C-alpha cells in the first residue's frame, strides 16, 4: 500500500513528503539530497519535537523508509511476517465475549495449530490456504466429530480470516470462502430427542441432594438445580445472581446476558421459594457456593451421575419448555419466562405490556401450572418434615 507522496522542490535535490495512508495522514516532512548517498530529513517527530538529522541512503525509497524510522513513524506491521498464533491472538482480543467462550475459542484454535504442526507444515499466516482449512475439516470428520462440533471448531478459524482480510486488505485474503463442511450421512433412524427431566424427576433429584448420606455436599448446588430445573435459568445466570435480586416471589435476572430478552423479572414457583427460604442461610449472598462455571458444572454433573442420570447440567433448563409443550400451553409467556428472544414479528414489535402485567401473566400461565403439578410433591415434603422451619407466607396471608 502506498504510504507517502513526494513533491520535487528546488531542482530535484529537495522533496516535500506528505502521508497518504490512513495511519499517517497529516504527517509532513522534508528530505534533502546532499550528494554521495547522503540525505537530511527535517520535520516533526511523532513525539512532537522538531528534528533535523543526516543519514545515508542509496535511493529515494530507502531515504523515505529511513526518514520514517528517524521521525518515529514506523510502517505498519505487514501480514507476511505474522505467525498464525499471533493473528489468532489478536482476533481473540478483538472479540467481546465471556471468559468461557474465550477459553473455548482458544481450545479450538490450539486444535487446528496442533494439527497443522503435526503435518510439519506450519506456515506464516498469510500462507495458510483453503486447502489447509478443508483438510482440517475433513480430518475432524474422519475422527468422528459431529457436524455441530465441526462447525464450532471451524468458527474461530473462519472468523479470523474474515477479520484479517479486513485488517490487512491486499495482503491477506479470506481463504475460508468456498470451505465445504463435511456432511454426515445418517445410516439408520435415530430419534432426535434431546434429554431432559420431568418436573417429578427434578423433585426426586432435589430430594437426593438433600440426603446428607447420599449427597454430603448437595446443599452447595441445590438452589442452583432448583432454579435451573423449575425456573428455567441458565448455568451462567445461576452463578451470577445474588439473594438481593429476589424481592418477595420475583427474581430479577440481569448482568452480562446472551441477548436483551435475557434481562427479565420472573416469579418463582412455590417449591423453589421454599428451598431458598431453607438454604439461604447456608449459602451466604448467592444461590451456590461455586464462583466458577466449570467447577459448578462438574459438581452438578457428578451428583447427576451419582443419582443415576446421564443428562448434563445444561440440560436441566429443558424441563420447563419440554413439560409445557407436552401439556399444550407453550407460548409467548414461556419464551419470555425463559429469556428467549420472541419468535414472531407481532411479539417483537406490536405486543406492548407493562412490566407488572407481564409478571402477572407469567405468574398465571407459567408458575401456577408448575405449582399445580408439584402440589402433591410439595405437600409430601411438608409431611415428611423436610420444610418444618419454612413458613409459606402466601398461605399465611390467605389464612389471616
The Cα–Cα gap between 265 and 232 comes to 12
- The three cell numbers locating residue 256: 452480562
pLDDT band at 391 (very low <50, low <70, confident <90, very high): very low
| pLDDT value at 187 more than 70 | no
Higher pLDDT among residues 317 and 188, named by residue: 317
Classified as helix, coil or strand, 395 is helix
Q: State mean pLDDT over 266-290.
A: 82
pLDDT at 156: 93
% of the chain surpassing 90 pLDDT = 23
pLDDT band at 76 (very low <50, low <70, confident <90, very high): low
Averaged pLDDT of the chain: 81
| 334-354 confidence digits (pLDDT tens) | 888 888 887 777 777 777 777
The predicted model scores a pTM of: 0.61
pLDDT at 206: 92
pLDDT band at 81 (very low <50, low <70, confident <90, very high): low
pLDDT at 126: 78
Higher pLDDT among residues 370 and 259, named by residue: 370
Q: What is the DSSP letter of 286?
A: B
Q: State mean pLDDT over 84-102.
A: 86
| 244-274 confidence digits (pLDDT tens) | 888 888 999 887 666 778 888 999 999 999 8
Higher pLDDT among residues 300 and 350, named by residue: 300
Helices marked H in 174-318: 199-210, 222-231, 235-240, 270-279, 293-307
Q: State mean pLDDT over 207-224.
A: 90
Q: State mean pLDDT over 305-322.
A: 91
Please state, in angstroms and as integers, the Cα–Cα distance from residue 52 to each residue in 28, 49, 74, following that order: 14, 10, 17
Phi, psi of 273 (to 5 degrees): -65, -35
pLDDT at 394: 35
Contact 374, 270 (CB under 8 A): yes
The Cα–Cα gap between 263 and 259 comes to 8
The Cα–Cα gap between 268 and 238 comes to 14
Amino acid at each position: 500500500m502506498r504510504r507517502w507522496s513526494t513533491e520535487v522542490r528546488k531542482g530535484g535535490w529537495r522533496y516535500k513528503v506528505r502521508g497518504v495512508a490512513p495511519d499517517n495522514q497529516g504527517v509532513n516532512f522534508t528530505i534533502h539530497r546532499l550528494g554521495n548517498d547522503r540525505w537530511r530529513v527535517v520535520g516533526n517527530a511523532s513525539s512532537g519535537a522538531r528534528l533535523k538529522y543526516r543519514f545515508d541512503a542509496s535511493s529515494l525509497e530507502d531515504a523515505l523508509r529511513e526518514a520514517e524510522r528517524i521521525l518515529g513513524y514506523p510502517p505498519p506491521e505487514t501480514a507476511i511476517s505474522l505467525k498464525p498464533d499471533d493473528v489468532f491472538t489478536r482476533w481473540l482480543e478483538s472479540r467481546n465475549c465471556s471468559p468461557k467462550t474465550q477459553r473455548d475459542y482458544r481450545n479450538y484454535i490450539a486444535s487446528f495449530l496442533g494439527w497443522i504442526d503435526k503435518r510439519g507444515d506450519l506456515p506464516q499466516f498469510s500462507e495458510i490456504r483453503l486447502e489447509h482449512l478443508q483438510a482440517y475439516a475433513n480430518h475432524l470428520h474422519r475422527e468422528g466429530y459431529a457436524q455441530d462440533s465441526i462447525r464450532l471448531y471451524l468458527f474461530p478459524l473462519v472468523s479470523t480470516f474474515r477479520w484479517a482480510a479486513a485488517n490487512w486488505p491486499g495482503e491477506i485474503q479470506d481463504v475460508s470462502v468456498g470451505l465445504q463442511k463435511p456432511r454426515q450421512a445418517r445410516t439408520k433412524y435415530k430419534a432426535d430427542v434431546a434429554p431432559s427431566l420431568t418436573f417429578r424427576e427434578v423433585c426426586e433429584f432435589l430430594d437426593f441432594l438433600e440426603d446428607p448420606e447420599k449427597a454430603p455436599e448437595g446443599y452447595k448446588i441445590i438452589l442452583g438445580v432448583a432454579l435451573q430445573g423449575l425456573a428455567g435459568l441458565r448455568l451462567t445466570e445461576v452463578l451470577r445472581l445474588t439473594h438481593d435480586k429476589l424481592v418477595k416471589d420475583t427474581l430479577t435476572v440481569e448482568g452480562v446476558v446472551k441477548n436483551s430478552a435475557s434481562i427479565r423479572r420472573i416469579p418463582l414457583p412455590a417449591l423453589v421459594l421454599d428451598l431458598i427460604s431453607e438454604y439461604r442461610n447456608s449459602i451466604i449472598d448467592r444461590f451456590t457456593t461455586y464462583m466458577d462455571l466449570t467447577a459448578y458444572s462438574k459438581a452438578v454433573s457428578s451428583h447427576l451421575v451419582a443419582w443415576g442420570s446421564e443428562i448434563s447440567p445444561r440440560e436441566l433448563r429443558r424441563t420447563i419448555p419440554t413439560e409445557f409443550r407436552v401439556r399444550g400451553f407453550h407460548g409467548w409467556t414461556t419464551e419470555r419466562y425463559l429469556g428467549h428472544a420472541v419468535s414472531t414479528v407481532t411479539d417483537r414489535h406490536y405486543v406492548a405490556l407493562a412490566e407488572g402485567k407481564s409478571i402477572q401473566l407469567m405468574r398465571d400461565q407459567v408458575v401456577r401450572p408448575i405449582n399445580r403439578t408439584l402440589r402433591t410433591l410439595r405437600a409430601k415434603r411438608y409431611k415428611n418434615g423436610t420444610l418444618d422451619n419454612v413458613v409459606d407466607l402466601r398461605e399465611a396471608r390467605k389464612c389471616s
